[in-house]
Amino acid sequence: MPINHVLTESQDVEEILKNVPQHLWPEVIAEFIGIVDLEIERPKGCDFLCKAVEQVSQRHSQKVIPQ
C-alpha cells in the first residue's frame, strides 16, 4: 500500500504534526516507517503517525514539550 494512501486514511496529517517542530519531522517520519515495518497487524496509518510523534516527543521531551 502506498505510504500517501496510508497517511491520508483517517486523520489529517497536518493536524497530527501541528505541534511538532518542523526540524523534527524527518525523525518522526523515520520513526513512522520503523513502526510500520515492525507491526504485523496494520491499523490505520495515522495511528502509526501519532505513535511516531509520541516516540519522538518523548525523546525530545524537554525540547518539544515545555514543562
Q: List pLDDT tens digits, range 26-59.
A: 888 888 877 766 655 555 666 777 888 888 888 8
Q: Is the pTM here over 0.85, yes or no?
A: no
* Residue that wins the pLDDT comparison between 64 and 47: 47
Rounded distance, CA 17 to CA 49, Å?
9
Reported as a single tens digit per residue, the pLDDT across 2-23 is 444 455 555 677 788 888 888 9
pLDDT at 10: 52
For 36-47, b/e burial (b = at least 16 CB within 10 A) is beeeeeeeebbb
CA 11 to chain centre: 12
What confidence tier does 61 reach under pLDDT thresholds 50, 70, 90?
A: confident
